[in-house]
């Protein structure tokens, strides 16, 4: 029984490390938008150009919303609970939870990443 437990634990550790390695690679926006239901509610990492960054606050808490675009015209909305120092055209990496659709008042927001981190990889391209 003890040997089985060690084998199971080893398998879980190896499997878990594979998941961590694979999650560090960015997901193509095309893959995300072709199968949004597959990624709904899941942690994703995407890269692209920041477009139309908008800043506001809700109940005194600042937030940033911007579009993340790839070179082929695909776009995903990014939402983050902080004021990010972004400029139009910055190339960024975003990690967060993908939401296929959510209701905010009378509006339905589709294909949004609720950012946990946004990192500028290069500025204004």
Q: Backbone dihedral region of 48: left (phi > 0), alpha (psi from -120 to 50 degrees) or beta?
A: left
Measured CA angle at 67 (ends 93, 31), to 5 deg = 65
pLDDT of residue 87: 93
| Cα(37)–Cα(82) distance, integer angstroms | 27
Task: Answer whether residue 68 shows pLDDT above 50.
Answer: yes
Q: What does the pLDDT read at residue 53?
A: 96
As a whole number of angstroms, the distance between CA 19 and CA 88 comes to 33
pTM: 0.77
Split at pLDDT 50, 70, 90, the class of 124 is confident
Look at residue 14 in the predicted model and tell me its pLDDT. 43
Strand partners for 91: 49, 122
Alpha-carbon dihedral sign for residues 103, 105, 108, 112 = negative
- Tell me the pLDDT of the chain averaged across its residues: 83
User: 113: burial class by Cβ within 10 Å (0-12, 13-18, 19+)?
Assistant: buried
Residue 12 has pLDDT above 80, yes or no: no
């Amino acid at each position: 029984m003890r040997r089985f437990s060690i084998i199971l634990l080893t398998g879980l550790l190896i499997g878990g490390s594979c998941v961590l390695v694979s999650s560090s690679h960015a997901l193509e926006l095309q893959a995300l938008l072709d199968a949004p239901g597959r990624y709904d509610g899941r942690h994703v990492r995407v890269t692209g150009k920041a477009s139309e960054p908008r800043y506001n606050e809700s109940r005194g808490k600042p937030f940033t919303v911007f579009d993340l675009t790839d070179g082929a015209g695909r776009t995903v909305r990014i939402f983050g609970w902080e004021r990010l120092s972004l400029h139009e055209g910055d190339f960024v990496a975003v990690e967060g939870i993908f939401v296929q659709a959510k209701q905010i008042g009378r509006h339905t927001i589709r294909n949004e990443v609720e950012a946990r981190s946004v990192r500028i990889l290069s500025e204004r391209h």
